Structure 1
Amino acid sequence: MNENSKKLFKHCELCKNKSQNLEIGVFCSLTNKNPNFDGFCDKISFNENLEKKITEVNIAFQKTKREKKWVYSYFIVYLIMSLAMFLFTYKSNDYIANILSKASGKPIFIASSIIIIFICIAVVLLGYAFGALNRHRFDSKKNTDDKQELDTILKLYKIDYDFKISFKDRMLMPTDIETELKIKKNLKV
């Protein structure tokens, strides 16, 4: 599927004339063909798919924006913990080896094992820090691109909307999201 077809299918996601089957894929129920138009479709007919898509895209976009400060604080905390563990391992290496050599006579094997465990813990903490940051950055880019793409398509059809959202309950996992959507069809060019 080429890039132009993908863009055309984005228009079809909002239309009530969209149909699909396994042989053809997504097609227009008016023409029984895959979407094939330049710029915008003059036969597009919006229904609840439009409201659903606007709501879904804007909720994802707002959630990502809302999570930003928590993700960066999570990153900083786990990064500091990881660096502290590396520093602790570096500083305590000789101390652990000296204590174990006096106690058991086998300092190299046991000390090496303890040091490797500390390093593994530090690496896991570092993974948590960068994993959360990378996931947020990926989601943020995807959700921003989705919103811009939707807004661009709606602008072609002279549709504007007001979207209000309020999150209730927990910060990172809201259980109650209230939305208000007002769609405006502009008749002016």
Structure 2
Amino acid sequence: MDLTLHCKLCDHKIIDFKIGTLCGLTNRKPDFQNKCGVIKIQDNFKEQIETINIEHDAILKTKTDTYGHLIMYALLAFALVLAAFLLGKFILDKGFISTIPLIIVTLGFSVLGVALAPLNAYNSNLKRAKRNKETLDKIGNMYGYKYNIDITHLKDSLGNKSYATDLKIRKSNNSL
């Protein structure tokens, strides 16, 4: 595991752009095996919990919109391909050859690409958010911290999103 992930949660951290992350107590780079003996987890830990969990929850809230978008545009793509097939069959029955059905089929497949793009973005964002949350939980458990967070999604009259959190952190005696 990257040692600077522990430092990211610690209140003693010092970030130097030339050297990297340093410990504020020892003025050296992190040098420990599994867990830090001088870590102070308070404000940065709370901030990281709120940030990572809000990001995770916000991504989960877009699931319905993402799948609705996929279904709507997939149906549109199917309708375009079907219309192109029927138009091509009609034109061919009249004795003509036309490239218009090929253009409509191409348009239908491009709409299918538009349907899949938000799904790919949702899946990659969800994987990243889950990985960040699991890393945070793993480090928190390593130092004996458990938390419960309730996130309330708020919207003002202009549609701007904000979040209210109720965070409860408890320290247990069993750390890994």
* TM-score range normalised by the length of the shorter chain: 0.7 to 0.9
91, 104, 128: which one aligns with 2:86: 91
Report deviation, 1:187. Answer: 3.1
Give 1:127's aligned residue: 113
Candidates 3, 8, 12, aligned match of 1:13? 8
2:46 pairs with 1:61 = no
Match of 1:165 in 2: 151
Structure-2 residue corresponding to 1:71: 66
Question: Greater shift after overlay, 179-188 or 115-124?
Answer: 115-124
Q: In the TM superposition, what is the alpha-carbon distance from 1:37 to its structure 2 partner? A: 1.0
Matched residues, percent identical?
Answer: 28
Q: What amino acid maps onto 1:127 in structure 2?
A: G
For residue 95 of structure 1, report the CA deviation from its aligned partner: 3.1
Q: How does 1:143-158 map to 2 (within 5 A)?
A: 143-158=129-144
The aligned counterpart of 2:31 is: 36
- Cα offset for 1:97? 6.3
Q: Show the counterpart of 1:104.
A: none
Shift of 1:120: 3.5
Q: Does 1:115 align with 2:104?
A: no
- Match of residue 181 from structure 1: 167
Q: Give the secondary-structure state (helix, strand or coil) at the position aligned to 1:145.
A: helix
Rounded Cα–Cα distance in structure 2 between residues aligned with 1:149 and 1:22 = 24
Work out the CA distance in 1 between the residues paired with 2:37 and 2:8: 15
Q: Secondary structure at the match of 2:146?
A: strand
RMSD (Å) for aligned C-alpha atoms: 2.3
Stretches of structure 1 lacking an aligned partner (at least 5 in a row): 102-106
Report deviation, 1:174: 6.1
Aligned residue for 1:27, secondary structure, equals strand
The CA deviation at 1:44 is: 0.7
Displacement after TM superposition at 1:181 (Å): 1.0
Asked whether the equivalents of residues 15 and 50 of structure 1 are also in contact (C-alpha less than 8 Å), the reply is: yes
Is contact 1:17–1:44 with CA below 8 Å preserved after alignment? Answer: yes
Residue identity in the other structure for 2:37: D
The alpha-carbon deviation at position 96 of structure 1 amounts to 4.5
**CA deviation digits over 1:129-163, x for unaligned, max 9?**
11111111111111111111100100011111110
Q: Where does the alignment leave 5 or more consecutive residues of structure 2 unmatched? A: none
The one-letter code matched in structure 2 to 1:145 is R
SS in 2 for 1:178: strand
**Structure-1 separation of matches of 2:80 and 2:133:** 41
Q: Deviations over 1:1-59 (max 9, x none)?
A: xxx4xx21111111121112232111212222221211110111123211111001101
TM-score normalised by L of structure 2: 0.86
Q: TM-score, normalised by structure 1?
A: 0.81
1:78 Cα shift? 1.0
Please list the CA deviations of residues 97-145 of structure 1 after superposition, one character each: whole Å capped at 9, or x if unmatched: 677x8xxxxx65xx32x33442342123111211111111111111111
Cα contact 1:167–1:174 (8 A) shared by 2 = no
The total of aligned residue pairs comes to: 173
